[in-house]
Amino acid sequence: MDMEPGLQNSTDFILLGLITHLKFPGFIFAVVFAIFVVAVTANVVMILLIHVDSHLHTPMYFLLSQLSIMDTVYICITVPKMLQDLLSKEKTISFLGCSLQIFLYLTLIGAEFFLLGLMAYDRYVAVCKPLRYPLLMNHRICLFMVAGSWVGGSLDGFMLTPITMSFPYCGSREINHFFCEIPAVLKLSCTDTSLYETLMYTCCILMLLIPVSIISVSYTLILITVHRMSSPEGRHKAFATCSSHIMVVSIFYGAAFYTNVLPHSYHTPEKDKIVSAFYTILTPMINPLIYSLRNKEVATALRKVLGRCASSQRIRAGEMSRK
């Protein structure tokens, strides 16, 4: 793509998109828009179900509602701009808009890292210390966990965003990505950023170690406890209560491992965009579907709400026919 006249001296950037030379933008738009609608709807429904149904007023579902809030905000950071660019000839994003996107992206992904780790601790307490669960996972502690996740994520955003955007970008303004991800933005800098990139990746790995350690220790203790259980029903219940979380963790941390841990030699712009699309577009849709399809309590709550809606519509229809 050639640089548009006037952008050479502009502070705006150009997002080249998920696919650089797109032949069927309408088809990609329809697919991404459908995923976006399903993701937002599924997460909002999950949040409402947990709020409305008293059977879901437990620490596990409170943390799950926070995960849904994060996923909703997370997908809204990148996808609306991506959809706009698919329909527009001008794919520009302002310097401030790019900075805000980086900050929110780092905050949300960091907060989700920490929250998933703390959700593993919640499962450890539920399986290994069920009698002390109400005490160890009371509402105050849950609020502290959620606040800590948000603060931990925002520290990453506050630390890396100003440094990234302080580099001089005096060459091309074309970001080979569909949103302002730091590695793609740094490629436009006209100064050497190798030291900063090394420090950034080191910081990301250290930040990953905290939740990964919590998850590893929690599930190791859970496996030991389950192995000691004599009841097959108890084992099945323990595995059922942890399986959804394990699936979500595997998907989310798998993509994070590729992005933050694998050496540069394994990275290409095309691979990076595909992996980014996976955890910024698909993961927010997959998470609520995993928890709803594999969780009997959520499925039961959903059937109750749908049943109430259907009965209220029948009552209204009956009243209308009488009139």
Sheet holding 92-93, edge to edge: 92-93, 13-15, 174-175
Q: What is the arithmetic mean of pLDDT over 94-113?
A: 93
Q: What is the dihedral of CA 98, 99, 100, 102, to 10 degrees?
A: 90
If pLDDT is split at 50, 70 and 90, which confidence band does 5 have? very low
pLDDT-based confidence at residue 229 (cuts at 50, 70, 90): confident
Average pLDDT of the segment spanning 230-243: 76
* Cα 47-49-55 angle, rounded to 5 deg: 120
Average of per-residue pLDDT values in the chain: 86
Look up residue 155 and give its amino acid: L
pLDDT at 3 over 60: no
CB 124 within 8 A of CB 221: yes
What's residue 38's pLDDT?
Answer: 95
For residue 301, count CB atoms less than 10 angstroms from its CB and return exposed for 0-12, middle for 13-18, buried for 19 or more: buried
Predicted pLDDT of residue 322: 65
